[in-house]
């Protein structure tokens, strides 16, 4: 019986010169296994593909940028701004924009500090059974935000009760704390004040000159608050009351309309700063109407009545 052949997986078949086979040295001739690429070779292949796609991406981006630059026209360089351009813009603004007048700005600045002052006498019953009280109406200006007010003495002198009405409508009684007879001034302290009470800004009169614009704010004949604009007509004027009882000196003369009820109110600059307290008007006909000459006590003298230091 013929023996089956033995196979080895390690060596190829050997043959005897006489044609005999040697067991244990015969190897099946099998095809070699497929070669698996190494990591390094795979990396180089991947890198080559990546560089290929990257190259074409860059080419595409450059082509897109070129197309955009050809499609969009280049903007011309901006022309430098000249003084003529600026002047034209300012002129256009002035022609198309309505600006508030200087007098309106002055009024807005001072009005939170202006008050209505009423001096009331004792109530008496008339024939109809109604109670009447003698009244004098004037104006005052807050110069300290704790409720210190300057007004004219003739507005509150002899009053049984003094009532003050603030710009926001709040009413309070007040007391006279000091007077300055030579300038017809009185200092009031109110008993109740608004939470946001504003004191007026005071300004030195040292550099005032005739022709400077001013505004008088007050309650003429109890109507107001009212504003009237004018100019300073003169400085260091003297005024004697129609009855000849009092003479005041070093006054500011102005032509902004003032009437009974303006007494004690502020005379202000176009910035709304107080330069004087309106105290008198001149009328040769002894009528209680304005003829163009008003007088104000300089604020330096008026502030001295409160003990405030000079400018």
Among 113, 136, 233, 263, the one annotated catalytic: 263
Q: What does DSSP say about strands 294-298 and 274-281: parallel, antiparallel, or unpaired?
A: antiparallel
Among 113, 136, 154, 279, the one annotated catalytic: 154
Among 113, 184, 228, 233, the one annotated catalytic: 184
Give Cβ neighbours of residue 238 (< 8 Å, ≥ 6 apart).
247, 248, 249, 251
154 tagged catalytic:
yes
Distances (CA, A) of 149 to 145, 176, 186, 306: 9, 9, 8, 9
Helix (H) or strand (E) holding 215: strand 213-218
Interior/surface letters 191-217, b for 16+ CB within 10 angstroms, e for the rest: eebbeebebbebbebeebeeebebbbb
Answer yes or no: are the C-beta atoms of 5 and 26 closer than 8 Å. Answer: yes
263 tagged catalytic:
yes
Enumerate the active-site residues: 154, 184, 263
């Amino acid at each position: 019986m013929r023996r089956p052949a033995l196979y080895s997986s390690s060596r190829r078949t050997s043959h005897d010169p006489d044609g005999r086979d040697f067991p244990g040295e015969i190897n099946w001739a099998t095809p070699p296994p497929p070669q698996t690429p190494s990591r390094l070779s795979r990396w180089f292949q991947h890198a080559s593909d990546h560089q290929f796609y990257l190259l074409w991406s860059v080419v595409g981006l450059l082509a897109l940028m070129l197309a955009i630059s050809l499609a969009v026209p280049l903007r011309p360089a901006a022309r430098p701004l000249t003084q003529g351009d600026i002047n034209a813009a300012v002129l256009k603004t002035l022609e198309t924009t309505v600006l508030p007048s200087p007098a309106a700005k002055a009024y807005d600045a001072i009005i939170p500090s202006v008050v209505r002052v009423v001096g009331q006498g004792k109530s008496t019953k008339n024939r109809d059974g109604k109670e009447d009280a003698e009244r004098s109406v004037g104006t005052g200006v807050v110069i300290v935000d704790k409720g210190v007010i300057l007004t004219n003495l003739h507005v509150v002198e002899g009053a049984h009760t003094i009532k003050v009405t603030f710009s926001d409508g709040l009413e309070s009684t007040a007391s006279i704390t000091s007077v300055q007879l030579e300038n017809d001034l009185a200092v009031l302290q109110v008993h109740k004040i608004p939470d946001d009470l504003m004191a007026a800004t005071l300004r030195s009169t040292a550099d005032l000159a005739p022709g400077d614009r001013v505004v008088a704010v007050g309650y003429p004949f109890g109507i107001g608050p009212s504003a009237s604009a004018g100019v300073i007509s003169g400085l260091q004027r003297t005024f004697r009351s129609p009855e000849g009882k009092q003479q005041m000196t070093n006054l500011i003369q102005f032509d902004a309309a003032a009437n009974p009820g303006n007494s004690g109110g502020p005379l202000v600059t176009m910035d709304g700063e107080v330069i004087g307290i309106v105290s008198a008007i001149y009328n040769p006909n002894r009528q209680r109407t304005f003829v163009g000459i008003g007088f104000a006590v300089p604020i330096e003298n008026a502030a001295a009545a409160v003990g405030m230091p000079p400018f």
